[in-house]
Amino acid sequence: MAKMTEGDLLSQVLMAETDAISHSSSYMPLNQKMMEYYLSCPNGYEVEGQSQVTSTEVQDVVGSDMPSLARIFLGGNEIMQFMPNSQDPRDIEEANEKTKYVHHIIRNQPSSFKLQHDFLKSCEIQTIGAIHYPWKEVKRTEFKEYEGLDEDERASIITDLEIEKVKQGFDLDIEDAEEDEDGSFSLEIKITRTKKSVVLSNIPIEQMLISQNATTKDDADLIGHRFMARRGDLKAQGFDENKLAQVPAGSNETDSRMRAIRFKDQGGQRNMSAIEDSANDLLPVSNLYVLMDFDGDGIPERRHIIKIGDVIFENYPFDHVPYAISSAILMPGNLMGRSRAEITMQSQLLGTEIMRSTMDNIYDVGTGRVVVNDTIDMDSLLTSRNQGVISMDGPGDVRSAVAQLETPFVGDKMLLISQYIDSKRVASTGEMLSNQGLNADKIYNETATRFEGLRDSGAAKIELVARVIAETGYRDLFEGIAWTVSHFQSSKDEIMVLGKAMTINPTRWWNEHAVEAKVGAGAGDDSETLSSLSGFFAIQNQLKAEGSSLVDEKDRFNTLEKMLQASGFNQSNEFFNDPEEPKESAQFLMEQNKQLMQMLEQASQKNPLAEAALVEQQGKIAVAQGNLQLKENELAEKQRQFNVSQQAQNTKDLLTLEKDYVKIEADNQIDIPGKGL
């Protein structure tokens, strides 16, 4: 087969995209309804003149889940851990670096809390939640203006900026200093910072495109998302200006209904920009990862294609799908799962009807109705005023002419039905109701033991949801970020881990490590974790006192470090010294020796015989300090030798890899971005 032409490529992409859009029409109505139920929108069964109150079961279930999920995923503890494949120190070090660095990247994203919170809430309300994690180059421009500077201040500012430019690597544009009438200077400075990094963003379900019958993101013929972007923003991102000019402003009609529901409090979906100029024109952008045989070798490969309007702007091979996708409830053999909102919708529908019937009954009981015969003047009867008069035509008994029509109150009966529906919802969702107390005990004759069982069963359901999200969405996210960083980041990075600087070098990541979820039963309950760790620490102290070889100082330090994390503290060096850190151990010895010296000096002032002991102790301290310095020097030399050896090996490996890339490019007549020649 021959390589695809641009026309063939566009035709194939449009067909695959149309198929994905058609597929979205099968699951989007359900997602729209679930969002309406969560927002307590009218359900379509309203009757004019009757109660239109709406129950909030979906909102209650999601609201009761979110604190637990936030405690598990948005706390200070590690969510996932890369596991080494062997006992090789390099392998162990690489797995540890990946764990620390990926956590650092996620938690240092702009609005990291909201990003993860929205992902978790999407899994609760919609069939799937999705996070996009591409490698991006982001440029940020700063402007600084200075006025009233003298010559020395002007020179000092320019010198400092030039130094920082070299250290931080930003672009600096300084306009010529202008001398004002009073002899002072003004400066206008433009700083452009370019940052290349993994950028995370939530993808609303109405923007997602997934081909039909996909069981995972990797076997989907097409997966991606569609969104609207300003023409000027696309130009700033580096897209061809001439090709952008050919794309007419348009709208993305496939997500208009869902966005109208999502933004109902803001007037619904706006398809066009409120500012009428070319730079603010909204253009439909499709960011797609398509599985196709573009090069005609008979083997389909994954390609990253960016289409704006009906024009393809980017097309290159990309053997990874940078989306983390998860559902609250998994469905076998299907990428799409079920949400907590979906299994609660029926309870809300029944609860709404019961509430409306009850409110109508209360209104009828409160207002009352009367039965009258033809002798009563209806106008005077319907006019209600103080000491008003009701007219009758002809003689007769007024008590037989007007009678109160009694409406029976059925609210108590409705309450029993409502409590039964609530119990069914608790059984299916695990949500415990705070008002399930005395009345529920009367109906079901609950005991304390059974109540504890219900509570544990409810907690287990929430923990299962958390485990599912961890093993699917967060596993995809951690593995994907590690893959992206190892393929695109070409420089070292220094991060702070538990208050200590840690240098990360992704260019040395050669292994594929499995990710293990650290979210399990009780993982979200820090009090239980802290209680368990306290028990372990007591056992360690007992073994240490008995002289057992099962425990050393590092083991006890690790336990204390985990206890601090469970307590919400992330910097262990503020509380304890790491026995494997020479500087912290030296600090401990210095403080201990200082206290001993003070005691000996005080004793020597009272007892001259203690002076000899003081001199002897000073000699021991000098020897200990010398030994400690020698040990530090030995460790530093070993580290230097290791670094030199590692650098040489890395250089050799990189040269071999580049050679392989050049061969692949030559054999296949392709250009691999950033690799080879």
Residues 127-147: tens digit of each pLDDT: 999 999 999 887 778 888 888
Q: Is the pLDDT of residue 590 over 50?
A: yes
Nearest to 18 by CA among 215, 216, 204, 226: 226
Q: Is the pLDDT of residue 203 over 70?
A: yes
Pairwise pLDDT comparison (493 vs 28), residue with the higher score? 28
Residue 536: how many CB atoms within 10 A of its CB? 15
**Cα separation, 528 vs 158, whole angstroms:** 56
Q: Is the pLDDT of residue 584 over 70?
A: no
Pairwise pLDDT comparison (264 vs 54), residue with the higher score? 54
| Partners of residue 226 on adjacent β-strands | 286
Q: Are 411 and 356 in contact (CB under 8 A)?
A: no
Q: What is the mean pLDDT of residues 162-172?
A: 81
Q: What is the mean pLDDT of residues 308-336?
A: 93
Q: Is the pLDDT of residue 585 over 60?
A: no
Q: Are 146 and 157 in contact (CB under 8 A)?
A: yes
Q: Which of 288-297, 359-368, 583-592 has the highest mean pLDDT?
A: 288-297
Quick one: pLDDT band at residue 427, thresholds 50, 70, 90? confident
Region of residue 246 (left: phi > 0; alpha: psi -120 to 50; beta: else): alpha
Q: Are 133 and 322 in contact (CB under 8 A)?
A: yes
Q: Is the pLDDT of residue 450 over 60?
A: no
CA 588 to chain centre: 40
**Cα separation, 108 vs 116, whole angstroms:** 12
3-state secondary structure (DSSP) of residue 216: coil
Place of tokens 């180059």: 137
Q: What is the mean pLDDT of the chain?
A: 81
Place of tokens 């995209």: 17
Residue 376 DSSP code: B
- Position 446 scores a pLDDT of 45
Place of tokens 């009981």: 365
Residues 42-57: tens digit of each pLDDT: 888 888 888 899 999 9
**Cα separation, 673 vs 559, whole angstroms:** 46
Residues 592-627: tens digit of each pLDDT: 666 666 665 666 565 555 566 666 666 666 776 777
Q: Which of 17-26, 271-280, 391-400, 623-632 has the highest mean pLDDT?
A: 17-26
- Cβ-in-10-Å burial (0-12, 13-18, 19+) of 328 comes to buried
> What is the sign of the dihedral through the CA atoms of 304, 309, 310 and 312?
negative
Pairwise pLDDT comparison (83 vs 251), residue with the higher score? 83
Q: Is the pLDDT of residue 451 over 60?
A: no
- Using a pLDDT cut of 90, give the percent of the chain over it: 31
> What is the sign of the dihedral through the CA atoms of 538, 540, 546 and 552?
negative
- Position 569 scores a pLDDT of 64
Place of tokens 């200093």: 177
**Cα separation, 249 vs 245, whole angstroms:** 10
Q: What is the 3-state secondary structure (H, E, C) of 408-436?
A: CCCHHHHHHHHHHHHHHHHHHHCCCCCCC
- Residue 113 one-letter amino acid: F
- Position 180 scores a pLDDT of 72
Strands 185-198 and 171-174: antiparallel
**Cα separation, 115 vs 376, whole angstroms:** 69
**Cα separation, 378 vs 388, whole angstroms:** 13
- Position 200 scores a pLDDT of 95
- Cβ-in-10-Å burial (0-12, 13-18, 19+) of 7 comes to exposed
